[in-house]
Amino acid sequence: MKIRLAADLQTDSIVDGQGIRTVIWTQGCSHNCPFCHNPGTHDFNGGDLVDIEDVLDRIECLEGQDGITLSGGDPMFQPAPCTLIAKKAHELGMNVWVYTGFTYEELINSKNNNILDLLNEIDVLIDGKFEIDKKSLDLNYRGSSNQRIIDVQTSLKTGNIVLKQFDNKKQIKRELLYI
């Protein structure tokens, strides 16, 4: 199986989710959000087509990472290989965050088994398109206030959307320790 990536894996990120993370930038997105911070990831034929086994091998060699973040582009356009990545991260004790322009409701109602399989492997989902008129630099892990940080596993279990809560002081202290 192959996955189309926009860039090499980025390790040691502290802005793409809680803790120290490796970000995997998927290629391909049709949302075309105005002022997107990654417009180079929109072309579905851009980036590099990579064997998923190579990505999984690289994840297995990671050290000092709390989790994996799938971003892009939009990982939901490549749910099958992203599911394999998420499963590998969980096997290694890492959590999985995903950024998508789709809403949680759109994903659940898609009836796409590959997307539903990926949702079952996601710990935290940041959903919704970036909206420039709702942009704020005061938001945790998201660009605009319409985007939600969803605890996916609790949401799936309860049937209700459960938002992730953060202790900002604890997170800031942890991030400062790694700078």
Assess contact for 46 and 40: CB atoms under 8 A: yes
Assess contact for 150 and 161: CB atoms under 8 A: yes
| pLDDT of 177 above 90 | no
Q: pTM for the complete prediction? A: 0.91
| pLDDT tens-place string over residues 82-128 | 999 999 999 999 999 999 999 999 999 999 999 999 999 999 999 99
What is residue 178's predicted lDDT score, i.e. its pLDDT? 47
Q: What is the 8-class DSSP label of residue 157?
A: H
| pLDDT tens-place string over residues 27-60 | 999 998 999 889 999 999 999 999 999 999 999 9
Could you tell me the two tokens for 121? 């492997």
What is residue 168's predicted lDDT score, i.e. its pLDDT? 58
Could you tell me the two tokens for 118? 């990926």
Q: Whole-number mean pLDDT of the chain?
A: 93
149 Cβ contact list (under 8 Å, min separation 6): 124, 125, 126, 140, 141, 142, 163, 164
| Short-list 84, 72, 68, CA closest to 5 | 72
DSSP string for 65-94? -SEEEEESS-GGGSHHHHHHHHHHHHHTT-
What is residue 167's predicted lDDT score, i.e. its pLDDT? 67
Rounded CA separation 160/95 (Å): 21
Q: Which fold has domain 2-177?
A: TIM Barrel (3.20.20)
The arithmetic mean of pLDDT across residues 169-176, rounded, is: 46
Q: Is 50 helix (H, G, I), strand (E, B) or coil?
A: strand
Around Cβ 156, how many Cβ atoms within 10 Å?
Answer: 17
CA distances from 58 to 82, 148, 175 (A): 14, 30, 24
Amino acid at 37: H
